[in-house]
Amino acid sequence: MAEKIYSEGVISRLSQYLKYIVQLKELGKRTATSGDISSNTGVNSAEVRRDLIYFRIKGKRGVGFNIDDLISSFNKILGYDRSVRIALIGAGNLGKAILKYKMLDRFGFKIENVFDNNPEVIGKVISGYEVLDIGQVKNIFKKKNIEISILAVPPGSAQKVTDILVEAGVKVIINYTSVPIKTPPNVRIETTDPIEKLLHTLYYLSHTGYAEYK
């Protein structure tokens, strides 16, 4: 029997819930109510309750839901049971800022390698990462099974670098540039909140092997 694939709307909401709940845990909170989740994700409170009931996630009246239980349940539904390797493309000011963004680590998203095409940057160590020549992308992606890339290059280089990533087998590109990029249908482009979208697309990568969905 084929595994059920949930709709984009459901997975989008669960991704938002998980992001918020993990942030609560970071603040030392132990419980959350459906009202808390609704207020901080923008999802209608009735929708939140329906989702929790549908997935048989139980709380205690007057107390709410145990945060560790929520995280465990959402992770299981999303198929989020593996560390995700990501390549950062671009080691300029934006790339450096992304390397310092600790929330990626907290969600299990590990930047595996950093690439650039600037000879003055290649070989330098930034935030503990040696910057590699972008010409190595294809071999390293294949060797390490890297499927997700964060694009943080100058606008004029965005499409050219995207083409290199597509040829290397990337499945998801988080586009931090200020210009649109074009990819084949089997490569997903995200331009908003990286954590939420990485959680979202991970579900489809885990369950279908592809980043696209209907």
Q: How far is it, in rounded angstroms, from Cα 89 to Cα 185?
A: 21
No. of H helices and E strands in the chain?
9, 9
Q: Which residue intervals of the chain bear CATH 1.10.10.10?
A: 8-78
pLDDT of residue 37: 95
Q: What is the DSSP letter of 84?
A: E
The 10s digit of each residue's pLDDT in 183-213 is: 999 998 888 666 666 666 666 666 555 444 3
pLDDT in tens, 131-158: 999 999 999 999 998 999 999 999 999 9
8 Å CB contact between 133 and 111: no
For residue 112 the two structure tokens come to 């595996």
On whether the pTM is more than 0.85, the answer is no
Q: What's the pLDDT score for residue 139?
A: 97
pLDDT digits (tens, 9 = 90+) for 17-47: 988 998 898 889 999 999 999 999 999 999 9
Domain range 8-78, its CATH number among 3.40.50.620, 1.10.3720.10, 3.30.565.10, 1.10.10.10:
1.10.10.10
Q: Which CATH number fits domain 84-208: 3.40.50.720, 3.50.50.60, 3.40.50.170, 3.40.50.620?
A: 3.40.50.720
The CATH 3.40.50.720 domain(s) of the chain lie at 84-208
- Give the amino acid at 8: E
Average pLDDT, the chain: 86
Q: Is the pLDDT of residue 97 over 90?
A: no
